[in-house]
Amino acid sequence: MIDRDSSVTEEELHAFVDGELPADRQEAVTAWLATHADAAAQVGAWRTQADSIRARYGAVAHEPVPDRIKLDQVLRRDRASGRHLAAMATAAALIAFVFGGAVGWFAHGASAAAPTGFDTFTAEALDAYKLYVVEVRHPVEVPGSERPHLTQWLSKRLGSELRIPDLQSIGLKLVGGRLLPGPTGAAAFYMYEGPSGERFTIYCANTTTTQTALRFKSIDRFAAFYWVDDKVAYVVSGPADRERLETVTKTVYEQVDKSGAKKS
Amino acid sequence: MATFRQNVEATIPALRRYARALTRDSDIADDLVQDTLVRALRSEHLFHGDEVRSWLYTILTNLNRNRLRSLSRRPPLSPLEDNDAPDLAGPEAGGRDIERALAALVEDQRNALLLVVLEGLSYREVADVQGVPIGTVMSRLARARVQIKNYLDNGRPALRRVK
């Protein structure tokens, strides 16, 4: 409708309304609008929308900020909760245990034969993912800033030399990690976060299998890749965007595989 | 890092405004702001840049998305078209209309429109917040504006030519 005259695009009209139009196009668009009543009406309607939105919500920014979201209060409360962090982490681990235990039990009931490593590990890993990924305040026990400590601690608890993958190259920062009860003892759990807040986790635990191929599983909005390398099972979990998860998995795989090669 | 905290603090009123428009509920909005602040302070060490404001908008936008997702797992609380008197006139009615029109938008479109129009972010900044190219931001804006216009024109014929 607007592109009858290709000299001004609809995108330019939006940019015009939003003050994003380059200065050297300002005059041309203004002149063009003077002779295109339909487009001018449209621009007018967009401006009216913007005005109504500002009229409706603009005043909120001038209200006094409630105490509970004043920065010093948030800081103080957050520090106080930090003191209880250890206790809460224990509680969270207990929940994970009960949660994971129930899944293991059901899985056991479902097939009298021992459930496969793939089933148990991915179930545990996805449960942990779902449980912790929504956590805003306590997603991990040890923050990513203490990577050496985290590596050392989890390696010691699992009894195998772990390497926490660095996923910066694909835009994921290490949030941190925690220790979880796994089907075969301790399990290490790392969480990563992308620039837009999307989270991915890596779950690893010892297993008796030496090696398996990569397997994929998706449940609801979540998905996981599972494989075993050198008697360590890995499960990479994330939102059910298979392509993205594949990229993440590939990066993880290359790094842990490299570390495996280094060891032998 | 006093400057970091000062920048965060200076952004709180604007975050409240954005959150209010997103949630249409002052308590939920302030909860979102609070969670945003906690998260920002906790990941202060992860922040390497000078765009504190965009970063805070990004966190809030994502927390709200998580909130909407967890809501969508429950049965809907109430239909969008509630039972408010349909023929209210005056500025109050106009405010409620735009509120409903915004609520009827797809989330990404609503976020983009509010960030540009209400929060005054540049297209570039919105692209960073949403993690998409600028072209995507522009098409979200365009679609949002068409949707709102349709909503106001067809949803509320009585108010069509008011003022």
Q: Going residue by residue through chain A, which has 264 residues, state the pLDDT in tens, using 9 for 90 and above.
A: 444 445 899 999 999 999 999 999 999 999 999 999 999 999 999 999 999 999 999 999 999 999 989 988 888 887 776 554 444 454 444 444 444 434 433 333 333 344 567 788 888 888 888 888 887 778 888 899 889 999 999 998 888 888 899 999 898 999 999 999 888 788 999 999 987 788 999 999 988 877 777 888 888 788 898 888 888 889 999 988 888 898 899 889 888 875 444 443
**Whether B12 and A20 lie within 8 Å, measured CB to CB:** no
- A65 contacts in chain B (CB < 8 Å): 12-13, 16
Q: From CA A186, how far away is CA A231, in angstroms rounded?
A: 14
B residues 99-138 closer than 8 Å to A (CB): 99, 102, 113-114, 116-118, 122-123, 129-131, 138
Exposure class string for B70-91: b at 16+ Cβ within 10 A, else e: eeeeeeeeeeeeeeeeeeeeee
- B24-59 pLDDT, tens digit each: 999 999 999 999 998 888 777 766 666 889 989 999
| Same structural domain, B72 and B90 | no
Q: From CA A40, how far away is CA A25, in angstroms rounded?
A: 16
Instruction: Kindly state the DSSP code that residue A48 receives in the 8-state scheme.
Output: H
Residue A174: count other Cβ atoms within 10 Å of its Cβ.
23
Rg (CA), chain B: 17
| Same structural domain, B72 and B92 | no
Q: What is the pLDDT of residue A257?
A: 72
- Pair of tokens at residue A23: 């200065």
Domain range spanning residue B9?
1-77
CATH no. for residue B9? 1.10.1740.10
If we measure between CA atoms, which residue out of A48, A49, A8, A6 comes closest to residue A25? A8
- B58 contacts in chain A (CB < 8 Å): 195-197
| Same structural domain, B45 and B120 | no
Q: How many helices (H) and strands (E) does chain A have?
A: 8, 7
* Nearest CA-CA distance, residue A133 and chain B, Å: 10
Q: What is the pLDDT of residue B44?
A: 75
Task: Examine the fold and report which residue of B77, B111, B136 is the final residue of a domain before the chain moves on.
Answer: B77
3-state class (DSSP) for residue A218? strand
What are residue A185's DSSP bridge partners?
A182
| Same structural domain, B119 and B59 | no
Q: From CA B128, how far away is CA B137, in angstroms rounded?
A: 10
**Whether B98 and A68 lie within 8 Å, measured CB to CB:** no
Q: From CA B142, how far away is CA B19, in angstroms rounded?
A: 22
Q: From CA A243, how far away is CA A250, in angstroms rounded?
A: 11
**Whether A46 and B9 lie within 8 Å, measured CB to CB:** no
- The answer to whether residues A74 and B120 touch, using CB atoms and an 8 Å cutoff, is no
E strands, chain A, are 142-143, 173-182, 185-193, 199-206, 215-219, 222-229, 232-239
Question: According to CATH, what is the number of the domain A94-263?
Answer: 3.30.200.100
Q: From CA A199, how far away is CA A201, in angstroms rounded?
A: 7
Q: How many helices (H) and strands (E) does chain B have?
A: 7, 0
| Same structural domain, B89 and B157 | yes
Q: What is the pLDDT of residue A6?
A: 54
| Same structural domain, B100 and B146 | yes
Task: Examine the fold and report which residue of B48, B77, B106 is the final residue of a domain before the chain moves on.
Answer: B77
Q: What is the pLDDT of residue B74?
A: 60
A residues 146-175 closer than 8 Å to B (CB): 173
User: For residue A91, how far is the Cα from the chain centroid?
Assistant: 23
Task: Examine the fold and report which residue of B25, B45, B77 is the final residue of a domain before the chain moves on.
Answer: B77
- The answer to whether residues B14 and B8 touch, using CB atoms and an 8 Å cutoff, is no
* Nearest CA-CA distance, residue B132 and chain A, Å: 10
pTM for this predicted structure: 0.56
Residue A4: count other Cβ atoms within 10 Å of its Cβ.
8
Q: What is the pLDDT of residue B73?
A: 66
CATH no. for residue B101? 1.10.10.10
| Same structural domain, B87 and B119 | yes
| Same structural domain, B73 and B83 | no
Q: What is the pLDDT of residue B102?
A: 93
| Same structural domain, B99 and B49 | no
Distance separating the N- and C-terminal Cα atoms of chain B: 50
Q: What is the pLDDT of residue B160?
A: 43
**Whether A61 and B13 lie within 8 Å, measured CB to CB:** yes
| Same structural domain, B71 and B110 | no
Q: What is the pLDDT of residue A82?
A: 59
| Same structural domain, B128 and B90 | yes
Residue with tokens 């890749």: A225
What is the count of structural domains for chain B? 2
3-state class (DSSP) for residue A211? strand
Q: What residue ranges of chain B have pLDDT lower than 70?
A: 1-2, 46-50, 73-94, 155-163
- Chain B interface disruption, residue of A12, A42, A56, most B CBs within 10 A: A56
| Same structural domain, B110 and B68 | no
What residue type is A182 in one-letter code?
G
A56 vs B34, B66, B99: nearest CB: B99
Q: From CA B63, how far away is CA B107, in angstroms rounded?
A: 13
The ipTM (two decimal places) reads 0.84
CB-based contacts of A95, cutoff 8 Å, min separation 6: A131
Q: What is the pLDDT of residue A127?
A: 86
**Whether B5 and A70 lie within 8 Å, measured CB to CB:** no
- Pair of tokens at residue A161: 């030399």
Q: Are strands A173-182 and A142-143 parallel, antiparallel or unpaired?
A: antiparallel
Instruction: Kindly state the DSSP code that residue B64 receives in the 8-state scheme.
Output: H
B residues 47-106 closer than 8 Å to A (CB): 58-59, 62-63, 65-66, 69-70, 91, 94-95, 97-99, 102
**Whether A55 and B95 lie within 8 Å, measured CB to CB:** yes
Q: What is the pLDDT of residue B50?
A: 67
